[in-house]
Chain A
Amino acid sequence: MTPGEKTALEQPVAASQGAKPQRAADPPRVRVELASFAYTPEGGAPLFTLEATSFDVRSKEVVAVLGRNGSGKSTLLRLMAGALKPLSGRVQLEGFEVSQLDLRTRAQRVAIVQQETPLLFPVRVWDYVLQGRYPYSSGLRFQTEADSIVVRQALYEAGADPLRTRWMHKLSGGEKQRAVLARALAQQPLLLLLDEPTLHLDIAAQVELLRRLRRIANDKGYAVVVVTHELNLAAEFADRIVLLDRGKTLRVGTPAEVYQQDLLQQVFGTLLHVEHNSRGVPKVTFSGRDTE
């Protein structure tokens, strides 16, 4: 390791947290403040720790969380979803501690698209998306007129409108991802979280999904946080990047700020090359050979 790489890693997180000045006026929608977490087996030493992490997500903003497998990306997402309670620090959504919200209120404010869970019995896309309305009613939850308007809108926004009468288990990967996204949109959340939504999708479907997320964030004013392995797609579509490495938040900032060649090489443990295109968007290429 050269001295240069070391300093890149050890730069304090706050220094690179340069939010654009015009955005600083409106209060952030989500504030993650020195939040940490540890998985501890009974009576043992912690198996995994997520060290104190701080960043904000604003309305209309798409934030991508990057890092290798096991770096704590999913843990961070579950903290933001309120499914985990931070060991220390705070995760606040519009001023309320997310993990303290009751389940219904939380489901009205935070929607999460998780890695695929198989369904036990066949269900049609419409009924699946309608499940997103669950936190807004009670009892047997028969579909209301308002529900059907929201579901139709969600299907349209997710590009799943033509799928509404199809069976979930008969959809292709990309189609299923759109139906799952539609259900999350039917929750009408303030914060939309996605855990590796581009997994198993072909490149066209990946680009389409991220473009869609970008548009949804802009149009609906949602705050969107997406965990992904796709460095170039993240650079293209995200406003800001949270870079994790072994439970540590190394950097928070715009793609241009975070995508530094030596930093990324260190984190991902492989030789790669970063260049910036005319719009200042970084692009990562991987060298196939061991020369250099």
Chain B
Amino acid sequence: MRVLTPRRLLLTCALLAGVLLLVVFLCLKFGTSPISFYDLVLMLFRTATGQNDLVSSDFRLIVLNIRWPRILLAMIVGAALSVAGASFQALLRNPLADPYVLGVSSGAALGSILSLIWAAQLPGATPLGAFAGALAATAAVYFLGRREGELDSYALLLGGIITASFLSALIMFLMTTVSGRELRGMAFWLMGDLSTPTPVSSGWLLLVLVLGVAGIYTTAADLNLLLGGEQEAMHLGVDVVRVKLVVYLGASVLTGLAVSVAGAIGYVGLIVPHLIRLLFGSDYRLLIPATAIGGAIAVVLADTLARTLVSPTELPVGAMTALVGAPVFIYLLRRRAA
């Protein structure tokens, strides 16, 4: 019997972490300015061993100051969005749930724009605004998706889409009050973009990511039971109210984190958990960490493609994920209906 053991959990995560490392290495190499593998390995080795004076200034500028921070950001955003997606799927009992599809990302985007307009000078205003926006949007979608006290999966998806379009309209309205020069940056950011540097240090982002994921992970065993329905889970001893609250807060924090850094990158939270389920099964104790690493891999890859596909121009990474994600969404929807 293949039951989940701590050993299998660790081995799977180690395997995925290995893949992530490889992907990061490759993505450090590719970009507008070419760098040979030999140089990359040599310079990375020198940086790692503290021989900083032997590292070329070109390398330091391009790889360490430009590519690496962006890859780090992509990893954080990818992990946050994927775990948020997997969590929303369990919380709302809907396999098609994703922060973007549900309009939670739009809520976070609106929250951060409002915080930019009203409280730009406060440190951490953007992430807090995004978090508040995500919380409000999740609550709205949750209540729109209820019919006769039960969550209805189609009402939920429709509620999400309506919420998203309403919030986007509000965002457009607010953006017309912003001057033209900032507009292009904002439009890019809304589409999901990693090229603008964040106001918050990546150390803080990592901390919030770890706290959010760890918080959700404490409910991993409960989420497995929640998939069979709230009533059933309660009869098996799950404190459903507490679990839902933890997951709701955790997923909103993660969505807020991702959106405040990189705007609304769509479909990552949908595709990554589905791929991981196909590969390793749907046990949330494995799914959450595996999804976090898998999400990091996916967004790093998507962003590298966005950087290099039409180089030297860049696509927003959200356009890349939507190009892949929307067809997958349609496929999953049709397969479910069949």
Contact with A along B1-40 (1 / 0, CB 8 A): 1011110000000000000000000000000000000000
Indicate if the CB atoms of A120 and B89 lie closer than 8 Å.
Answer: yes
Indicate if the CB atoms of A119 and B235 lie closer than 8 Å.
Answer: no
A165 on the B face (CB < 8 A):
yes
The interface on chain B, measured as residues whose beta carbon lies within 8 A of the other chain's beta carbons, has a size of 29
CB distance from A291 to the nearest CB of B (A): 43
Q: Which of B5, B234, B239 contacts A142 (CB 8 A)?
A: B5
Please name all residues of chain A whose beta carbon is closer than 8 Å to the beta carbon of B90 when the two chains form the complex.
120
Contact with A along B75-114 (1 / 0, CB 8 A): 0000000000000011001110000000000000000000
A171 on the B face (CB < 8 A):
no
Indicate if the CB atoms of A126 and B221 lie closer than 8 Å.
Answer: no
Q: Which of A121, A126, A131, A165 contacts B225 (CB 8 A)?
A: A131
A53 on the B face (CB < 8 A):
no
Please tell me which stretch of A61-69, A99-107, A198-206, A210-218 contacts chain B, meaning at least 4 of its Cβ atoms lie within 8 angstroms of it. Answer: A99-107
Indicate if the CB atoms of B236 and A134 lie closer than 8 Å.
Answer: yes
Indicate if the CB atoms of A119 and B227 lie closer than 8 Å.
Answer: yes
Please name all residues of chain B whose beta carbon is closer than 8 Å to the beta carbon of A119 when the two chains form the complex.
227-228
Identify the closest chain B residue to A106 (Cβ). B237
User: CB within 8 Å of A: which of B221-257?
Assistant: 221, 224-225, 227-229, 231-232, 234-239
CB distance from A234 to the nearest CB of B (A): 23
Indicate if the CB atoms of A135 and B282 lie closer than 8 Å.
Answer: no
Known A131-B224, A134-B221, A135-B237; judge A142-B231 contact (CB<8 A). Answer: no
Please name all residues of chain A whose beta carbon is closer than 8 Å to the beta carbon of B232 when the two chains form the complex.
114, 117
Please name all residues of chain B whose beta carbon is closer than 8 Å to the beta carbon of A117 when the two chains form the complex.
228-229, 231-232
Identify the closest chain A residue to B282 (Cβ). A121
A249 on the B face (CB < 8 A):
no
Contact with A along B281-320 (1 / 0, CB 8 A): 0110100000000000000000000000000000000000
Please give the residue numbers on chain B whose beta carbons come within 8 Å of chain A beta carbons, in ascending order: 1, 3-6, 89-90, 93-95, 220-221, 224-225, 227-229, 231-232, 234-239, 277, 282-283, 285
Closest 6 CB pairs between A and B? A107-B237, A135-B237, A121-B282, A117-B229, A120-B227, A141-B221
Beyond known contacts A103-B234, A120-B93, A165-B1: 8 more, CB 8 A cutoff: A106-B237, A111-B235, A120-B95, A131-B225, A139-B221, A140-B221, A143-B5, A164-B1
